[in-house]
Structure formats: C-alpha cells, structure tokens
Amino acid sequence: MAYVSLDTQQVKRANKKHKYTKEQVLQLEKCMDEKTGPLYFMKTFMKIQHPTKGEMAFKPYPYQERLIESYNSHRFSISMLPRQTGKTTCASGYIIWYAMFKPDSQILIAAHKYAGASDIMSRVRYAYEMLPGWIKAGVNSYNRNSIEFDNGSKIMATTTTENTGRGMSLSMIYCDEFAFVQPPDKAVEFWTSLSPTLSTGGKCLITSTPNSDEDQFALIWKEANKRFDEFGNDNIVGTNGFYAMKAHWSEHPDRDETWAVEERARIGEERFRREHECEFLIFDETLVNAITLAELEGQNPIYNQGQVRWWKEPKPGRTYMVSLDPSLGTGGDYSAIQVVELPTFEQVAEWHHNMTPANQQIRILQSINKYIHDTIIEKDKNSNPQIFYSMENNTLGEAALQRVMEIGEENIPGMFISEPIRKGHRRKFRRGFNTTAKHKIDACAKFKELIENKKLIINSKPLISELKDYVASGVSYKAKPGQHDDLVSACLLMTRMIKVLADFDPKIFEKWTDRDSEFVAPMPIFANLGV
C-alpha cells in the first residue's frame, strides 16, 4: 500500500486507487450501514492507546455502546459521564467514522481549552493512523488541528469562544467538557452563535461532567430531560430536541465500592458526587435538599387513563386522597391533580394541564374518583372504597367549588374534606383549603420531611423536575422564573389533607408522626428568622 508521510505520521495518499477483496467489500458495507456501521467499525478496526497497556483494540463497555448509539441515532445528543470513562475515545471513533463514510462532511471539535482540543484531535489522528491501510480515506491535508480527506470531509479542532463556528455550515459539531467553558457568558454566546450553523440539518454532540447548576450545559441538559408533553407523556427527546444520556461510575468494570471509598477519601464527597455520580449539586436552596433530589428517579406510568397517568392500580383496603390545585385553564398556570395511597404514602396517579376549563377539571377529578371506586369494587364487591378529595378555595378555586355544587357531591365518589373549623373563625369558614403564607410554610416543612425521610414515595418524573426548580424565595418557596410549580402545589395541598385524616386514622397517624417528637425543625432559610 502506497503512503505519504505527513507530519511524521503514516497516512493514505489522496485519490489512491485500491483493488478491494470480496471480504473487504463486505466489511466496508457493514461499516457503511447507517444504523450499525459506527459501532461495527469501532469494534472491528479501531485501536486505542491505553495509559498503562499501550496499543490495544477498542472493546467498548455497554455504557460506551449506549453513548455511541446516542450519537448516531439522534441529531442532537447531550451526554453526562464520569471522568476517565472513555467518552472522548468514543467521540473520536465516531468522528473518524462520520468523516470517512459520509463524504463532504464538515466536522468541528470544540473544547474549553486549547490543550483539550489538541488532545481530542490527537486521539482522532491516532484512531485514523492505526486503521488498516485499505479502509483509510485518502488525505489531502494532515495538520495538527485539521484533517482534509479526499472525499470532501474535513475535521477541525478549536477552542470554544463566542465566535467559534460562526458563519460556518457544519455537518457536525462535538463540544467536549462544555460545562467548563469559562467565563459562563462565553458558553452562552458560543451557543447563541452556533445554533444558526446547525439550522441546515447538522448534528450536535455535547459531552461533559457537570459543573454548575446554572451554566449553559446544565440548561441544555435540563431541557433535554423535560421530555413530557402538555399531557405528561414521556418523549424520547427533550423540549429542545436533545437526547440525554447518562452513565454511572459503577458501570465501569474496573470500579467497585472499594474504589469508590478510596476515591471519596481522596477528593471529598462533594467532588465525588459531581465528577463520578454526575450530579448537579444545586446552588439554589431547593425545598428538598440537593442530594435527595439527585436520588429521586421516578417511574414510567403503567397506563394512562385519558390524560391521567397511573403508576399503581387501586386496591381494596387502601385509602385514596385526591387533591386538585385549580387554574383558569386559559394557557397560563397549570391545574394539577395528585392521588396518594394511604397508609403506604405512595403517589399513584397525577394529572396536569393548562388549557382545561374549571368545569372540566372537576369532571376529570370525578372520573379519577369513579375509576378508584369501580376498580376496588370490581376486585372486592364487599369492600367500602375510602376516597377523600378536596381543592384550594382561593379565588380560582371558587369556580371549581361552584362546579362541585352543580354536579352534586352525591355524584362524585368519595368524601369532600375541608380545613377544620377553628374557634372564632366559623363565619370565615369556607369549604376546601385556604392557603395563607403560614399554611404554605407548614405544608412545605412537612412535605420536605416526608420526602427526605423516604416516607412519601414519589413516582412522577414531571413532579421531580418541578421540585428541582422549587427554590427559596424570601421567607417561602416558589418556582424559578419561567418554571412551574403546580404539581408541587397540589402535593402541598395533599399534605394538608393527609394531616386532617391522620387525626382520625391510627395507621396514618402512626406514619405521619413517625419521629421522636412532634417538633419539626425549621427549614434552613427560616432558621435565623424566628419563624
């Protein structure tokens, strides 16, 4: 095979003819396959330079295969992996495959430092140089930070700046350790300038370990994980079109609990959780502490009842609490319904929407209650379904309460419960629950305790997403600007409803008060405020 030496490395000369054997043709066909080609190419022909073992064939671990699949199957892919897990190796192999088997591709590698860009390019060059001669694409230009192939493809490496990629028409851009682009404003400007270059159909691959909860990488990651449509159905990609992929340190075969203990001792718990657990340690003061939030995963619903998501079928011998946080239903705030099973304290169903009028919101609540009632009776005809429901009675709640009266409580399975009447307040008493600042703080404290002590089982991924944006504001909590907290609000109402029922049910009371005393320590932001 004829070669020309460029930059002291052996590369294939441009436009060099080669007579392929039948086996080589079959191998090329497998490599060219749109779906399976990248992984086959890398597993069959790619070599890597191991830091201690030297040159060796690339045998990807299962999580690396998932990473390569995410690159290939999605136009926009964002991945978060622990340090030293081979994410750059996977990217280098995929970039070489893309350049050689997709002619006329313009590929840009962007790293947060010049050394990082050079390192990635050196891996790309090594992967290319170690390929069998017959499979290599011919090279027109072979420089430290760029390669031009004779099929029209070009690979370029540079640092991430506000002007990187501006004006270019790219087939693919790979952003490495995007969370560490500094200052943060530079990452925002880079992303703003880059977006138009991908408008013609280019791919974007982003990999990083987490850094700040507020940087551009974190924002893209969060949007990629907001996969739920207006009805709460789970989509493959997020609202920004990105597919999110994540790996855990334990997926690496050389890392076990002994390694984890030693690494925690070496770098500290916080750094370990960020670099190896791939957790965003939220800088804002969330209602539920950041470590607990990171551990909440949620579950996919087992079935949908219209727009209502169900994680568990109703069963005899259980009590069901149904709370409604109403809204105008005109496209602004969402109305939300939460269903919790007692005494298990497990979230079993959820609904939310922002375009459903008040009368229909009550109809949906009615259908939920009827489904619980009928399912329990179907399983046990002699059972007496225990269903309690309520709603906030603020200004928006008046319309919902009026609709309950119009339908008739006798037509809604279950018992409507209200906030207990306190002395001197009989004339002010209204059905349902009225939320004051103190009521909200008390409910937040109890809700926080239930989750952090793992008493309340949260199954909803959309609810977990809201909790991550439910932060301290003055002497209370609310959603971050631009985010929603309606699912959380329905849970806070649910918490107050359970408290009412706990006064009458010993089983519920036992779990509700399962602590050494009745005293609930104040939340952090109130510790110095005398609340």
Assign 269 a pLDDT band (cuts: 50, 70, 90).
Answer: confident
With contact defined as beta carbons under 8 Å apart, do 106 and 169 qualify?
yes
**Looking at per-residue confidence, does 189 or 19 come out higher?**
19
Q: What is the mean pLDDT of residues 25-53?
A: 92
CA-based Rg of the chain, rounded to a whole angstrom? 29
Q: In the chain, how long is the greatest CA-to-CA distance?
A: 98
Q: Which among 325-339, 363-377, 460-474 has the top mean pLDDT?
A: 363-377
Q: Which among 94-98, 195-199, 448-452 has the top mean pLDDT?
A: 94-98
- Compute the 3-state secondary structure of the chain and give helix, strand, coil in percent, each to the nearest 5: 40, 20, 40
- 522 pLDDT exceeds 70? no
* pLDDT tens digit sequence for 496-509: 999 988 877 777 77
Q: What is the pLDDT of residue 153?
A: 96
| φ, ψ dihedrals at 206, nearest 5° | -125, 130
CA neighbours closer than 13 Å in the CB half-sphere of residue 167? 1
With contact defined as beta carbons under 8 Å apart, do 327 and 335 qualify?
yes
Assign 429 a pLDDT band (cuts: 50, 70, 90).
Answer: low
The 8-class DSSP code of residue 430 comes to -
* pLDDT tens digit sequence for 391-408: 888 766 677 788 888 888
Arithmetic mean of pLDDT over the chain: 85
Q: What is the pLDDT of residue 22?
A: 94
Assign 68 a pLDDT band (cuts: 50, 70, 90).
Answer: very high
Q: What is the mean pLDDT of residues 186-195?
A: 72
Q: What is the pLDDT of residue 229?
A: 67
Assign 521 a pLDDT band (cuts: 50, 70, 90).
Answer: very low
pTM over 0.85, yes/no: no
Which residue ranges form the domains of the chain, and what is each CATH number?
A: 3-247 (3.40.50.300), 303-526 (3.30.420.240)
Q: How far is CA 303 from CA 309, 364, 463, 484, in A?
A: 6, 16, 17, 24
Helix ranges, 210-347 (H): 216-224, 257-267, 269-275, 290-295
DSSP string, 434-490: ---HHHHHHHHHHHHHHHHTT-SB---HHHHHHHHTEEEETTEEEEPTT---HHHHH
Assign 465 a pLDDT band (cuts: 50, 70, 90).
Answer: confident
Weakest-pLDDT range from 112-126, 303-317, 344-358:
112-126
Alpha carbon distance, N-terminus to C-terminus of the chain:
80
Q: What is the pLDDT of residue 277?
A: 87
DSSP string, 180-194: G-SSHHHHHHHHHHH
Q: How far apart are CA 447 and CA 512, in angstroms?
A: 11
Assign 530 a pLDDT band (cuts: 50, 70, 90).
Answer: very low
Tokens of 428: 């002010």
Question: In this structure, are strands 139-143 and 303-305 parallel, antiparallel, or unpaired?
Answer: unpaired
Tokens of 433: 């629950």
Assign 137 a pLDDT band (cuts: 50, 70, 90).
Answer: very high
Tokens of 115: 């050394």
Tokens of 231: 């009805």
**Helix pair angle (22-32, 87-101), 10° resolution:** 110
Q: How far apart are CA 187 and CA 234, in angstroms?
A: 29
**Looking at per-residue confidence, does 234 or 59 come out higher?**
59
* pLDDT tens digit sequence for 252-265: 999 999 999 999 99
Helices (runs of H) and strands (runs of E) counted in the chain = 16, 21
Q: What is the mean pLDDT of residues 309-323?
A: 95
Q: What is the mean pLDDT of residues 107-128?
A: 88
Q: What is the pLDDT of residue 423?
A: 55
Residue 513's H or E segment, with its range, is none
Q: What is the mean pLDDT of residues 428-439?
A: 80
Q: What is the pLDDT of residue 123?
A: 92
- 187 pLDDT exceeds 80? no
| φ, ψ dihedrals at 330, nearest 5° | -115, 15
**Looking at per-residue confidence, does 123 or 211 come out higher?**
123
CB atoms within 10 A of CB 437: 11
Q: What is the pLDDT of residue 422?
A: 63
**Helix pair angle (114-129, 87-101), 10° resolution:** 60
Q: What is the pLDDT of residue 408?
A: 87
**Looking at per-residue confidence, does 285 or 384 come out higher?**
384
Q: What is the pLDDT of residue 387?
A: 95
